[in-house]
Structure 1
Amino acid sequence: MQPLNGKLFTPEDVAILRDIICNRRDVRGNRFLDRPVEEDVLQQLLDAAMHAPSVGFSQPWEFVLIKDTGIKQQVKESFIIENEKAAPVFEAEKQATYIHLKLEGIMEAPLNIAVFYKPADRPVLGQTSMEEAGMYSVVCAIQNMWLMARALNLGIGWVSILDAEKVKRIVKAPEQNKLVAYLCVGYTDGFYTQPELELVHWEKRKAVEKAVFYERY
């Protein structure tokens, strides 16, 4: 048995973490600056991702770092097609807001990161009943990266209005890999005090009492 001598944190540390969590934002294309992400900053993001929890310590994540304009343009074309399909889905009063929103920063962000789930080729401890736990592990890595980015005053935007299979082909991902997230990463001209979709009244933040149940629903 290993000794229980892991680091303990102070109330001040807790306050900083809470600030980072509460001030994390999804950054759109009109907020990114034309400033490269330094290599040491990128390594801090990747290191945060690599320290995420994962089912059975499987670490099933892989990251494709994209700076090439041609590759980004191909992904942007997929976004345009999918975005045109999406607008009519929303009720009339929201369509105008949807069209007005800048929902991605593929070309504007100096760095794009395609995040993939790589299924294991053998049984994974803890994943035998819930196969999707592997995908959830990748999402944990994304959240770690996002919080580290915010602590570094770096913006991240998650683009989900994409054809995942097209993106896989563009970056030549292995057939078994699944795209979990396409992230736009870069410095920004500022962060909103609230999530943008809350500011434009797209949705309201859910109250804790609406989401928490005791013993059963």
Structure 2
Amino acid sequence: MPQSTTEAMPNAQAFTEAERLAVYRAIHERRDMRHFCGGHVAPEVLLRLLQAAHHAPSVGFMQPWRFIRITQAALRQPLHDLVEQERILTAQALGQRQEEFMRLKVQGILDAAELLVVALADGREQHVFGRRTMPQMDLASASCAIQNLWLAARAEGLGMGWVSIFDPAALGQLLGLPLGAEVIALLCLGPVQEFYHEPMLQRERWAQRAPLASLVFDDQWNTPSALFSNGLKDADA
């Protein structure tokens, strides 16, 4: 059987093999880090990471992300306290898993070299393109920016952790956010002793990564994809 055109002709737009492997390595070795070892992040490196974040896709090119770099040490403690308050409330809401949750380390606010707050900008209601029926696409766009920063940080050998356990209104008031702006993340960033060999919550047996085949369908909901019946395997299986 002759090869298909796509198989016979090289893709002139593809990266080199080494470049492709580097991209996939950053994706697969990225970890939501909670353990940091102080140190610092050079300004030029931090700027590269923020540039990577700013080059994320956004619906309607709205660029809803705003980054607040916490430079005052005195601000870290109240931010840490807000997370601790919500950590206790979250534990209480978990019922039988309360004690198990309280043993988990959920943030590195006091230990990380850099602390970034990510917020959605005010005035987002004016951006209708791509959001008329799906207004949550502002959050999806900002999440893409965070993922870009995360992968770039891994490539730079820096750990990053996304903390979302806090009261957004209280945190926004602490940092002087205008009406309509909304905090979505506290990002702990900096050097780490080592990266987790697997996701921390998987290592702690809190949850396991689902098999990819259980999440990919063909044409209709819950119709298993033929991808996994043609000899292709889930790399995580």
Q: Same fold (TM over 0.5)?
A: yes
Matched residues, number: 209
For residues 167 and 87 of structure 2, the distance between their equivalents in structure 1, rounded to whole angstroms, comes to 10
- The 5-angstrom pairing of residues 16-165 of structure 1 reads 16-28=22-34, 31-92=35-96, 94-118=97-121, 119-120=123-124, 122-165=126-169
In the alignment, residue 212 of structure 2 is paired with which amino acid?
Answer: V
Query: Cα distance, 1:91 vs. partner?
Result: 4.5
Alignment counterpart, residue 177 of structure 1, candidates 178, 181, 188: 181
The two structures have a TM-score, normalised by structure 2, of: 0.84
Specify which structure has the bigger relative contact order, considering alpha-carbon pairs within 8 angstroms and separated by 6 or more residues: 1
Name the CA shift for 1:123/1:108 in 2 (closer, same or farther; >3 Å): closer
For residues 120 and 64 of structure 1, the distance between their equivalents in structure 2, rounded to whole angstroms, comes to 18
Deviations 1:193-214 (A, max 9, x none): 1011111111111101111111
Q: Supply the RMSD in Å over aligned alpha carbons.
A: 1.5
Identity, in percent, stands at: 34
Gaps of 5+ in 1: 1-5
In the alignment, residue 69 of structure 1 is paired with which amino acid?
Answer: A
Runs of 4+ displaced beyond 3 Å = none
For residues 132 and 48 of structure 1, the distance between their equivalents in structure 2, rounded to whole angstroms, comes to 22
- SS of aligned partner of 2:68: strand
- SS of aligned partner of 2:119: strand
For residues 113 and 167 of structure 2, the distance between their equivalents in structure 1, rounded to whole angstroms, comes to 21
Query: Cα distance, 1:85 vs. partner?
Result: 0.9
Gaps of 5+ in 2: 1-11, 222-237
- SS of aligned partner of 1:144: helix
